[in-house]
Structure 1
């Protein structure tokens, strides 16, 4: 049984990043991080129509620190690779390494990501919430969210500080997700 998570889509000029979990789970376990990643990957696939590349974030890179927080993220990556062998994921890694494929390949050539990261899975709510708010305020990126996963149906949350543009974006995204859900239900009935 999956717990709810809040995903933010950060829309930059040259890429879209999905940030998870920015609103729900304060201190998720390694197992929770895996389920957050899987639910976010499902959302990504539904919207972008391609398989995502997932980075599990930490202050550590691939075991460079033995702190329990870093070990939790490392464990999550191990579980994810076993439980979801088709999900392209890697970590634990620092944010700069995760968002810059050139740095990732130069410093950690053994990594299994075949392209730039699409999904950033944060180790806890504090880091995720702070990060999306900083990106929204200090960059030209549009922050769309939070999109609640893995809830069925199309219900999302509008932030108190949302601009008119952000409200319109959330309404459009919620409508799109509703259409995707309906299509999946109809296809399931025909195949069932």
Structure 2
């Protein structure tokens, strides 16, 4: 996922305007820039040029090895030089002529240069200056060449520069990333329990189309077929198991998993507690020796890697022993996702142990348990306030030296309420992508929220496929 701010040029502290009389032939200004994929994505969003050759996936399809930028990005660099450097603020564009000699590569240091070629006064008395414009690579090879005609500022003057805003590229590519990891894995037979609204049934259909799941639809057959007909969804190839209501569907769907007929269960249009009651039932559910817990996998645009957040769904007020099992489950999922030794930040309201705040005491206990080998395969630190967990700078400011601070893979929240609120804040305020899965049961339980969009539901299906094939 593309997440860092665009590689904007350093802000100019002072802007100087030069008049026609002050400009000299041969005078020049230049800027060095590395074109990032974030820049390319932002330019595509602003210009509307969605040519797939400017995206990594499009390049792979075309068989090219290096991403390339939009040619007109060079024109934007020239415009920036003319308006900020030479002649400076107050410059009026009259014409731009460009020829393109080679693709503009991503990730390479490039130099844009403008040079005064000539000065003229037209028939209307307008003072015009023509600039040569060049974009070159580190070897000096010309990528873009042309000229710009401008009317320079009428008065000389200095003014302070300003810090330009930073932008995040919200790619929403978590599904594509997880789907790619599934590769050529077989579709996972999945009981879709009570798919009695459009989004739930569409998720089953789309999951099948992408080769992630092989749905078995469990619910009132007449209702399911009616929804499929109303929304033009083809469910002809799917097995249907008739159930009278939500509770009956949950019991029958979990029964299919218990008997080995399916390898996962997926929540449809029913409440979480209705499904989880069937999952945790001791006589006919999906209990194992492991504690059942839930993990959200979050791709947050402002963070440099995915975050696993636990437990925002199943365990309401876990004690230290419960949290040890919850961490171990999350570590196992992190391993499946290719994180060999995940870093676990144990969250609380502050970074010091306070006996009056139980979550800080739990954090200290959990870290000692990890030291003694009672929690394996991870690096733990806590208690950590959220800012210290996410920001290395914030941690250093408070004198915290930690391998985890600023670089966590897993966030363990104090309780269900705080974890659930954190996930929803990241989703709705920070534009994060979320996928969710229940761990510790005999099969993966795809426990999506009824507010989740199609992409989140499919990403959760991909997690189930990866867990089944670990």
Q: TM-score range by the shorter chain?
A: 0.7 to 0.9
- Alpha-carbon distance in 1 for matches of 2:454, 2:420: 21
* Match for residue 5 of structure 1 among 293, 300, 308: 293
Shift of residue 30 of structure 1? 0.7
Please identify which structure carries the higher helix content.
1
- Alpha-carbon distance in 2 for matches of 1:166, 1:86: 28
- Alpha-carbon distance in 2 for matches of 1:79, 1:156: 30
> 4+ runs of 1 displaced by more than 3 Å?
112-115
Contact 2:389 2:406 in 1 (8 A): no
The corresponding residue for 1:99 is: 390
Shift of residue 150 of structure 1? 2.2
The TM-score, its normalising length taken from structure 1, stands at: 0.83
* Match for residue 149 of structure 1 among 410, 434, 439: 439
- Kindly provide the CA deviation profile for residues 113-168 of structure 1, in whole angstroms up to 9, marking residues without a partner as x: 387111000111111011111111111210111x1112242332121111111122
Contact 2:349 2:384 in 1 (8 A): yes
- Alpha-carbon distance in 2 for matches of 1:129, 1:122: 9
Over the aligned positions, Cα root-mean-square deviation in angstroms equals 2.0
Higher relative contact order (CA 8 A, sep 6+): 1
* Match for residue 67 of structure 1 among 351, 356, 362: 356
Please identify which structure carries the higher strand content.
2
Determine which structure has more spread, i.e. the larger CA radius of gyration: 2
The TM-score, its normalising length taken from structure 2, stands at: 0.36
Q: Any stretches of 5+ residues in structure 1 without a counterpart? A: 181-192
Are residues 148 and 85 of structure 1, via their aligned partners in 2, closer, same or farther at CA, if it must alter by over 3 Å? closer
Q: Partner of 1:111: helix, strand, or coil?
A: coil
Shift of residue 106 of structure 1? 4.1
- Kindly provide the CA deviation profile for residues 161-183 of structure 1, in whole angstroms up to 9, marking residues without a partner as x: 11111122122222222222xxx
The corresponding residue for 2:462 is: 172
* Match for residue 328 of structure 2 among 27, 35, 38: 38
Aligned residues: 178
